[in-house]
Structure 1
Amino acid sequence: MSKIFVFRLVKRHLKLANNVHCVFVKFDKISGQMTTISEKKQRIVLTFMILEVVTIIAKIWSIAARKTNLTVKVVGIAMTSITLIPFLIRCHTSADYVQVQFLNFIFLSRDAKNDAKRDKFLTYLVLFFDVVELGNYSMFIVHWLSVMLLPCQPGLSSSILCSADNVFQNGGILKSVFAALEGLVFMQCSLGGGYYILIILLTGVAFLWKECGNFINRYKSGTSSQIE
């Protein structure tokens, strides 16, 4: 599995993340490098982070305040957790230039000599990218349908408007608004968290492993001085 193919997946992930305004990094087609987004877009990301915080608080409150059976609470906690955990992972309020330089280093440096074991690891990484992307779209649909069909389920922000007897009496339009909100917030948190887990951590470690292996092999062969 080549570095170019992995790079394409990274750019695709960043493009989707930029579309929902959840990361401070983008791929600049003109320079061909990773760079930070503009200050205006950074303020948009921060604004959406405030929306995410408010939504997560509403989801937590809906679990704590409503009296339901254990099964319903467990489902609510699970739905809240899959939004809360990635939000905490990507909870940064400014761009990190070190991360940008790190990504440019691993993707713009000369590729290491092919190695079957390392290439196999990259294959698994690509598959993991695909699984996560499929999971993001699937959970977006799950959140949307959950609000439309079960708006009073604890763990959904829409449940804060339900009556004491678990009836959502605010109409289909408002229900659709909450469905869109739940889906958007999940995608923002998931893609933002995925940026740090998939791109910074897993992809970074994979390519640093390749670069270190390349250096060690060159050192053993006495050609380490030829590394660019």
Structure 2
Amino acid sequence: MDHTTPAEVTLPAGGTTPAGATGYAVPAGPTGPARPGEPGERVDPAAGPAAAHGEEISRMRIALARTARRLSQQIPDVGLTPTQLSVLATVAREEDMALAQLAEFEGLNPSMLSRVVGKLEPMGLIRRYTDPADGRVAHVAITPAGTALQTQIKQARTAVFAAHVSALPAHLQQDLVDVVPALEALAEHLRAVAVPVRPIVPPGGAATAAVDPKGEGSPSD
């Protein structure tokens, strides 16, 4: 298996998964995709066919969380937090973005994004500049060093993930290939749509809101 090409991974079971290939529509609220902290579409967790498969949904969630956590543990440390890596990947993919657009896409408040950019810019990974047509608008652009680092990270992650997938029986490899479009749609739904969640009350503590999706800790099961 070729582990050096970040654009696609060909599995022995006969499936080829192009990076970034999608075939789904972005879920929309009344005025477009709902963003963190803004009104938009709300989804009833108890509605739909998934409600009849609660145990399987729970197993899927745990498996995805463990996969993401253990994959991250097997990638060489580059000295960046998960949020910083996510911002770097987004800017590398888009090449140039307004800060406001980047904050919206990543689900970060301006002060948090400012801290992230303040970490990446001195490292020479991104470049911040003012829009020449509108001095009120700040942009960030990827640098050659940022592109090089993101390419290495992407190749390393793909190689590790492909090695683990290749160790599975052929029929399970094909099952994973077949479910890629559904997982991509799920990832986009998680980004774009707010789902109401009951407050969590720890023993002897006050109720807590939903966990920040860009928190720096490792996801728990």
Q: TM-score, normalised by structure 2?
A: 0.28
Higher strand share: 2
Higher helix share: 1
- Flag the structure with more relative contact order, 1 or 2, with Cα contacts below 8 A and sequence separation at least 6: 2
Q: TM-score, normalised by structure 1?
A: 0.27
Higher gyration radius (CA)? 1
